[in-house]
Structure 1
Amino acid sequence: MQRSAPRLSRILACAAVPVMFVAAGCSSGSDSGDKGSGAPDKGASSSAAAPQPTQSTKKVEPAKFAKLPEICKSVSSKTVESLVPKVKNKNGTEATSSDAASRGGCSWNGLEDKGTKGSQYRWLDVSFYRYESDATLGSGQERATESYAKELAKVQATAGAKKLKTTQTTGVGEQADTVTYQLRKTDEDFQYASVVARAGNVVVLLSYNGAGYAGADTPSDKTISDGALKAAKEAIAAVEAANK
């Protein structure tokens, strides 16, 4: 049975609000050298003892990328419009970030009403995490690799996910995995694809999902995963372009 316009309006109203990125404290190690103090030999004339050498600072590999791209321009308007028909805001909705130099996100959503053929809903979002090199915490690349593993694990642990599959992906940064699954929401089956990718000291998390309403078919696994990969490649390329 075809659902009413108010029903479709509620679908868009239920779209997730932009993620708030709160910068994790990037502590920097402070090297405090041990200062030696020696007493003069008994019977010798008073003289200042030579100071002990200070502890050397651990050297780490410099971070590969110094900045992030313009977040909502990291995926082209052409790609956004092809992946999200009838997109509400083609410029995207940028997530609030307390440290825009280190993290940020942007999302797009839209509902295409096809009348008696039902409706198609799509959601696309991208998040960036950039890590500095730190003598205490490690190089930016090492820290990004650790973050990559954690973000992938989070996606793989999505509550309620069905038919979840993880595929190693080539051609997207230095390492990438694509996770596909189905999730039941608003009484409909949603098809999801999340791409977790890393380029140097930057981790990119891109998610794309969709559902059919009012009798329309759920988009296929291939349609959603292909779309996610296309957008993820553009996001990675945007990082590289921003640092040239």
Structure 2
Amino acid sequence: MHRSAPRLTRILACAAVPVMLVVAGCSSDSDGEKDKASSSSPAPEATKSEAMVAAARFAELPDPCKSITASTAKSLVPAAKDKNGTPGRSSDTAARGSCSWNGLDDNGIKGSQYRWLDVGFTRFGSDQSLGSGADRAGDDLTKQIAKAKAAEGAKKLDAAPVSGIGETATRITYDLDKTGEDFKYATIVARTGNVVVTLTYNGAGYAGAKTPSADDIQKGAEKAAKEAVAAVATANESKKVGASPEPSGKASDNATKKATDKAAGKAAGKTIEKASLTSSAKPSAKSSAKDAK
């Protein structure tokens, strides 16, 4: 009985070894699965990069005084003090600019007609913290419309959307008593891309002259506004992708191809010349037979 005790102890110890190995193996597999799951899990939201805002469509503004054609400016303001327009002051002409035409057309005893035309541009760039240029321009469009509607002393005020001028546009019309005369006003506020165009046209009859019709003032404003919006696109034509020079890599490939073709042509020419000389140096089979006779 005393001799069997040590033997039993050894048997139990040996039997325990596989169990420990299995446990160790399971523990190792479990840790591996945890590491694998950890590495494949998605990154926290905080580490994801913020979405970039859309790039601004227009990088330049037109010359405000050239945004309205000379013929249109003359028809709307016949007796302008400066037919080329008077530019407004701006500390940053790439972001904002304006121009105006005004004059009194004196018709003697028939009275006089006064006209005023003003156009302004504001360009907004895209900013990661402020938003895209188009969105910022949209916000400014709303502000400019509200400003036009808030004209002090305005009567018969009316605001309505107008089509065919930029991506979106609103027309604001009203009457205003000024300097003892009845003035007719029309303001067009339009957005094209990241640029806001604000154009105002007004007029009045002096010294007994007939007051201009609201319809004429409205049509004149819309015509000038269309030209101003079109001028924005024209000023940015040179910025189009199609106007960029050919990439250096492509130009290099073309140059290499031309050089290779030229070299191949020279080699082919030399081969033909050599063959021709060889052929002329050897008599033909018929000639040799004739000479032998």
TM-score (norm 1): 0.77
Matched, 1:238 2:231: yes
Instruction: Tell me the CA shift for residue 54 of structure 1.
Output: 6.5
* One-letter amino acid matched to 1:168: P
Higher percent of residues as helix: 2
Aligned to 2:204: 211
SS for the counterpart of 1:232 is helix
Q: Distance in 1 between matches of 2:151 and 2:129?
A: 32
Aligned to 1:171: 164
Q: Distance in 2 between matches of 1:169 and 1:93?
A: 27
Instruction: Tell me the CA shift for residue 55 of structure 1.
Output: 6.8
Matched, 1:134 2:134: no
Q: Distance in 2 between matches of 1:72 and 1:92?
A: 6
Deviations 1:142-181 (A, max 9, x none): 0000000000000011110000111210000000011110
Q: Distance in 2 between matches of 1:205 and 1:55?
A: 40
* One-letter amino acid matched to 1:111: L
Structure 1 consecutive aligned stretches of length 4 or more whose deviation exceeds 2 Å? 52-58
Match of 1:115 among 80, 93, 108: 108
> Which of the pair has the greater relative contact order for Cα pairs under 8 Å at 6+ separation?
1
Instruction: Tell me the CA shift for residue 70 of structure 1.
Output: 1.1
SS for the counterpart of 1:236 is helix
Matched, 1:195 2:188: yes
Q: Distance in 2 between matches of 1:159 and 1:121?
A: 20
Superposed CA RMSD in Å reads 1.3
Deviations 1:120-150 (A, max 9, x none): 0000000000000000000000000000000
SS for the counterpart of 2:138 is helix
Aligned to 1:22: none
Q: Distance in 2 between matches of 1:117 and 1:190?
A: 18
| Equivalence map 1:85-164=2 (5 Å) | 85-164=78-157
| Equivalence map 1:2-17=2 (5 Å) | none
List runs of 5+ in structure 2 lacking aligned partners.
Answer: 1-43, 238-293
SS for the counterpart of 1:207 is strand
SS for the counterpart of 2:57 is coil
Aligned to 2:70: 77
* One-letter amino acid matched to 1:223: D
Instruction: Tell me the CA shift for residue 56 of structure 1.
Output: 2.8
Aligned to 1:9: none
SS for the counterpart of 1:106 is strand
Q: Distance in 2 between matches of 1:79 and 1:240?
A: 19
Contact kept, 8 Å, 1:57 with 1:135, in 2: the verdict is no
Aligned to 1:7: none
List runs of 5+ in structure 1 lacking aligned partners.
Answer: 1-51
Q: Distance in 1 between matches of 2:128 and 2:103?
A: 45
Instruction: Tell me the CA shift for residue 85 of structure 1.
Output: 1.1
Deviations 1:14-33 (A, max 9, x none): xxxxxxxxxxxxxxxxxxxx
Q: Distance in 2 between matches of 1:221 and 1:142?
A: 33
Q: Distance in 2 between matches of 1:185 and 1:202?
A: 31
Contact kept, 8 Å, 1:121 with 1:211, in 2: the verdict is yes
* One-letter amino acid matched to 2:106: D
| Equivalence map 1:19-98=2 (5 Å) | 56-98=49-91
Identity %: 59
* One-letter amino acid matched to 2:198: L
Instruction: Tell me the CA shift for residue 71 of structure 1.
Output: 1.2
Q: Distance in 1 between matches of 2:97 and 2:104?
A: 25
Contact kept, 8 Å, 1:197 with 1:204, in 2: the verdict is yes
Aligned to 2:7: none
Aligned to 2:217: 224
